[in-house]
């Protein structure tokens, strides 16, 4: 998947939500913020030498790919706050 659309990414993220529950992601903004945060993590880990991702691969492209493949999970705000504590 070269360029997944926002609607495709929102469907992937919300795929685990049962009918009637509040979706995890409602907007493009949430997708952009999640992938940007993951891209910053990738850049930080690449600079430390922790990841074996080729330098040719752009961090944001890798983050979008991870989200589209279901490897990256976006948590609802309440769960994210619980994990930080």
The pLDDT score that the predictor gives to residue 36 is: 92
The pLDDT score that the predictor gives to residue 18 is: 78
What are the start-end ranges of the H helices in 1-85?
A: 6-13, 28-48, 59-68, 77-84
The pLDDT score that the predictor gives to residue 46 is: 74
Query: Measured between alpha carbons, how far is 85 from 72 in angstroms, rounded to an integer?
Result: 21
Q: What is the value of pTM for the model shown?
A: 0.69
Residues 6+ apart with CB under 8 A from 34: 25, 63, 67, 72, 74
Both tokens of 78, joined, read: 């309440």
User: Which residue ranges in the chain fall short of pLDDT 50?
Assistant: 1
Query: Measured between alpha carbons, how far is 56 from 40 in angstroms, rounded to an integer?
Result: 16
The pLDDT score that the predictor gives to residue 23 is: 80
The pLDDT score that the predictor gives to residue 16 is: 79
Query: Measured between alpha carbons, how far is 61 from 36 in angstroms, rounded to an integer?
Result: 10
């Amino acid at each position: 998947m070269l360029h997944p659309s926002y609607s495709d990414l929102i469907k992937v993220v919300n795929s685990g939500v049962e009918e009637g529950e509040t979706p995890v992601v409602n907007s493009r903004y949430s997708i952009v913020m999640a992938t940007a945060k993951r891209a910053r993590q990738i850049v930080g880990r690449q600079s430390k030498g922790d990841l074996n991702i080729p330098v040719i691969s752009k961090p944001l492209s890798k983050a979008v790919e991870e989200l589209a493949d279901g490897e990256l999970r976006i948590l609802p705000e309440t769960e994210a706050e619980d994990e930080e504590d």
